[in-house]
Amino acid sequence: MSRWTRTRAGADLGAGPRSRPRGQAGGERAGLAADPHLGGQGRLQTEAAQTRFSRPWGAATLRRMSVSPRAYRLPRHVRPVAYDIEIEADPRRSDFHGQVTIALEVETPSRTLELHARGLRLWEAVVEVDGQARPLALWLDADRQTVTLLASEPVPAGQALLRLRFAGRLGAGMHGLYLASDGRHQVLCTQCQATDARAIFPCFDEPEFKARLRWTVHTGPDLLVLTNGPLQEVVRRPEGLTYRFHPTPPLSTYLAALVIGDLDSSPQTVVRGTPVRVLAPRGQGGQTRFAHALTERLLPFYEDYFAYPYPYGKYDQVAVPGFDAGAMENAGLVLFRQNLLLMEPGTASFRQEQSIALVVAHEMAHMWFGNLVTLRWWDELWLNEAFAEWIAHKAVHALWPAYRVWESFQQDKHHALLDDALPTTHAIWAPVSTPEEAIEMFDAITYQKGCALMRMVEEFVGEEAFRQGLRAYIAAYAGGHAVGPDLWRHLEAASRWPVGELMRSWIEQPGFPLVAVELEAGGRLRLQQRRFFSSPRDAAAPSEQRWLVPMGVRFEDEQGVREHRFLLREREQTEPLPARGAVRWCYPNADGVGLYRLALDDGMLRALTGPALQQLRPAEQMGLQEDLWALVCCAARPIETFLEVLPALAQVRDHHVVRGLVDRLEVLDLFVRDSGDRAARGQLRALVARLLQGQLEELGLEPQPGEEPEAAQRRAVLVHGLASLARVPEVIRHAEVLAERERLDPRAVEANLAGVVVHVAARFGEASRHACFVATYLARRDSGLPPQQVQRYLYALAAFRPPELVARTLSLITDGTVPQDAVGVLLAQMLSARHAQEQAWAVLQANWEALRVRMGDLGLSRVVESVGHLRPQWRQDIVAFFQQHVPRGAERALQRALEAMDQREELRQRVTPGLLRWLGG
């Protein structure tokens, strides 16, 4: 699953509000008895069961077991082999019903069969052994989310068939079976990870239970149905259509998927024997070509890399109009947010294209790593997601190097290190016992830190050895389950390096090291490692933690620029460089691959911020900048040291470095603004102008014919900095002109610049412009323009400053105008912005119950974490509110929010006096 990443204002993430027409209840179609609890004509057939037992455990008298749900796992004496799922559903109805037949392997005789179910009505439970059907009593436990089926006599060891009828209502959020809607389109779709298949049909809903899935779906006329397996046949009936599908190979239920709607498709192609399609809501089929072309190249890449053919019968990718995650790797049927799959050439920025490529690559990688070889339990989730994130970057870098994905990843890695520098971070591997804890694992530590670790390990053992170890691992566990140590053993066998020892040092303890480096005479490095904390108080505390740190050093001597690699094992260690003559400069994190911060001695820092800075690669320049800022945060360096290197950093002509520079200037701007010193505010604006204006003058305010993507991306960052931070009048005026030009014709402004100028226009806009932006968003949505052109107006609404316009934007969230999967994005932006956060916090509190459902699990975590940007005087209010309204599945996000708030305030108080003095000097 692709999680959300942090995005700047004006960035695009999907769309899709929730609206569901009232549908019929009950009724019978295609021979399925409707659930009487939903008003149909079906009849409970539990009389036989009720007469055999002293307690009436039939479906009409469901009882709850008062057992704690914490850490509960299904027993292992019964395992599913295959599911035959027959379901009736239609986007025009709010309910669904069906029956499931489960082929079982019973290891020991037992009177009880236990499986998962949540929010379902169940009846007609029957187990068949040797052709003899035996009715079963039903006992639901809503807390455990299980159903216990009790037979009058033990079910013998061997094979058995279990049949249950079920019915339910569509999910109110974006999980289980739900109606995805963006205000224009409506599609029924599923999201089962981590534990939501049980809300669609009764099943063994733990990843260890893999079984074949076969779907039969009854729906209304003129609707397309997709499931995990290839289509077998479509039967037209008077009341609608019946779709039957071929069974899949064994899958965990979190990978089950169903889509019903009116969809367009790219022309199907066959890639090495696999049918491939990309599908979108009706009218947007032309926006599928880019992703389809990506897929045609990625699938052979992965087959060759793993030396294993694609394991499922077809590969469909669907953009749905409302999705909580970025995308979901359901076997054979991958679902996406619209903006992460659909686009038209020329309508998306280079970064948006890059994001689509990475998400498509990430989800496809899961077909082998996660689906074919599956985690045993959710505490191994990190391995699934970290690996998919790493190999997605590797694949995109290999196939489309112009995207420079590893340089872009540095920013994601630094965001993960910010979270990992907090005391309440978690180890990459962490025990999981409940669905809520599983949801909390979808975070930056699992994805970005895990990805960085995989990259560092590959660099350590060597690319070919790493690949051979992975191939052996896939071959050994294909179709089954594995855990991290299984992979480490295969990597060790292929490389003969101590991979297991290294990995344990990184995944079993939280945090990461700060490596202090001194360059001594004769080219020797003296190194010390200790855990890095961003809080000065925590940084000063003793720490016994130690990592095995693969280190790469780039340095220049008389022979030129060279590299040296070694393993830092001890807390203190000396390493001689193989230098000839004097070492002119040295950077101990070659290509930014290492997962650590650097504290360089004064001489090394002076050398690297002088002429040598231009000899560093962009990832290294970014690392130098971010590490120095991190040292300011933990009070290891004064703010003046960081300020003194700003002019040198501003000489770098790379958009990744410039983006990082502008990010840090935004933090300084916030500190100066909070100080109330108007003179200092003017001085900071002048500083920003001096640092950035020369670069923009070189590039020009508008694109030049034939310029490289690097220039276009750098221009966009510079315009944002000079307009929003420096408040340069001519840049603001020009941005407003371009924004109006884009509003009239979305292709009239270069795509990398379009989102930025729209955001700038909103930042300085009044009521009439706000109304115009709302109307533009709605008109573009309804006309089916590419999501990138639609969403730039939706997310720009958060930038309007006047309080009455902030209130108006928030009203669009509460009245349902903002699509469901955009609620969390927009609300998080407003909670993070000084001008909007107090109003946004009030709206969040007043509408908590409704918004938490609309936002989805991942959206909830995003919003809860954003409250950490509120001013510290709101801290007690935040704590009191969430004590009364516990954010289930986002408790860890709340901890991060409060810690970040405290640390941000400590940093502000500590550095602001020096910052003001420096600006005034």
**Residue 132, beta-bridge partner list:** 129
Name the pairing type of β-strands 374-375 and 481-482. Answer: parallel
CA–CA dist 91, 201 (Å, integer): 18
Distance, in Å, from the CA atom of 92 to the CA atom of 79, rounded to the nearest integer, reads 36
Stated as kind and residue range, the H or E segment containing 774 is helix 767-783
- The token duo for 459 is 């660099």
For residue 194 the two structure tokens come to 């981590």
The amino acid occupying position 729 is: P
Euclidean distance between CA atoms 122 and 62, whole angstroms: 9
Q: State phi, psi for 370 to the nearest 5 degrees.
A: 135, -45
Give the number of C-alpha atoms closer than 13 A to the C-alpha of residue 176, restricted to the C-beta side: 21
Comparing CA positions, the residue from 629, 625, 612, 687 lying closest to residue 656 is 625
Q: Whole-angstrom Cα distance, residue 723 to residue 382?
A: 40
What lies within 8 Å, CB to CB, of 680 at 6+ separation is 672, 915, 916, 919, 920
Residue type, 29: R
* 829 half-sphere exposure, CB direction, 13 A CA radius: 25
Give me Rg for the CA atoms of the chain: 29
- Separation of alpha carbons 469 and 20, rounded Å: 49
Question: Is 640 one of the annotated active-site residues of the chain?
Answer: no
Q: SS3 for 222? A: coil
Amino acid at 585: W
Residue 211 DSSP one-character state: B
- In sequence order, what E strands does 321-480 have? 327-328, 333-337, 374-375
Going by their DSSP bridges, the two strands 146-155 and 137-141 should be labelled as antiparallel
Q: How far apart are CA 61 and CA 47, in angstroms?
A: 12
Say which of 124, 353, 363, 389 is annotated catalytic: 363
DSSP three-state, residue 80: strand
Residues catalogued as catalytic: 363
